[in-house]
Structure 1
Amino acid sequence: MIKRIECAYVPVSNVEKSAAWYEQVLGMRLRSPLEPGRGAIMEMEEGGWLFLLPSPDMTPLTFSTTAWAEDGQDFEMFPLCFETDKIHNLHASLKEAGAWVEQELRNEGSCGLQLNFKDPDGNKYQAWQQPANPAE
């Protein structure tokens, strides 16, 4: 019944600066002109949207979980994971922009290459790229 996620809503402290960052660093496209006091719609390569919305209290998209840490410790989780075919370029773009990003890509075998990163407001994401040979 539910086919896919069409869009997600992301809190940001400054819509204009965030829209520029998502364009320059992540390669998303601004869907329509910015309107003062409103959000920005950022479009991904294959059509999914992120709505960047002004957030006065700026609580980043992230939460703690013990499900992902081998030792049962808290892990700062990302609520969104992006797919890419250019994970090496993305990693380099994030580093060049000074973003918080894992130093090295992780090869998770059949789950592909992965990395975690944050935007300038601390919204945490994961990006992954399918393995060259899905049977790996």
Structure 2
Amino acid sequence: MTATQTKKALLNKIECAYMPVSDPGVSAEWYERVLGLKLRSPVKPGSGAIMIMGGGQWLFLLPSPGMTPLTFETTGWAGEGESFEMFPLCFETDDIAALHASLAESGTWTEAAVRDEGGCGLQLDFKDPDGNKYQAWQPPAQKGE
């Protein structure tokens, strides 16, 4: 392969994600009640939970002894070398206002307001009860919508 040839992407999309939680049953109830995800099957003691997102992808909630939230610090996001607690996953939504309201009502951490990033759409950072940090993104409205 020469420098001008482009290799075909060998990965297409993220089909599922694995999230650490302290109690899969409790977490599954929260993900269902607050985020509207569907529990695939009853949670058995000692096992994880599988939540189904609106697009059909699976989110596995797996027991994590010692529970370390899935986040990391980066200086590549906030600007001027400032440290930022980064989210490892960004979810797409078609109703970020309803998501923000549900998160606020649940009492879990969320940004105070949805951010309008212009051509990058609407964005909102939030955490689940175990402190796993996420971002939700709503694409910008198309002209005529």
TM-score tier after normalising by the smaller chain length: over 0.9
**Match for 2:73 among 40, 45, 64?**
64
Give the secondary-structure state (helix, strand or coil) at the position aligned to 2:90.
strand
Partner of 1:114: 123
Give the secondary-structure state (helix, strand or coil) at the position aligned to 1:25.
helix
Partner of 1:88: 97
Cα deviations by residue, 1:97-135 (Å, 9 ceiling, x for unpaired): 00100001100011100000000000000001001127x
Q: Any unmatched runs of 5+ in structure 2?
A: 1-9
Deviation at 1:84, TM superposition (A): 0.3
Partner of 2:46: 37
| Equivalent position amino acid for 1:24 in 2 | R
* Map 1:121-132 → 2, pairs under 5 A: 121-132=130-141
Q: CA RMSD in A?
A: 0.9
Using the size of structure 1 for normalisation, the TM-score is 0.96
Give the number of equivalent residue pairs: 134
Runs ≥4 in structure 1, deviation > 6 angstroms?
Answer: none
| Equivalent position amino acid for 2:97 in 1 | H
CA distance in 2, matches of 1:125, 1:93: 15
Percent sequence identity is 68
Partner of 1:47: 56
Partner of 1:27: 36
Q: Any unmatched runs of 5+ in structure 1?
A: none
| Equivalent position amino acid for 1:61 in 2 | L
Larger radius of gyration: 2
Using the size of structure 2 for normalisation, the TM-score is 0.90
| Equivalent position amino acid for 2:101 in 1 | A
Partner of 1:10: 19
Deviation at 1:71, TM superposition (A): 2.6
CA distance in 1, matches of 2:79, 2:14: 29
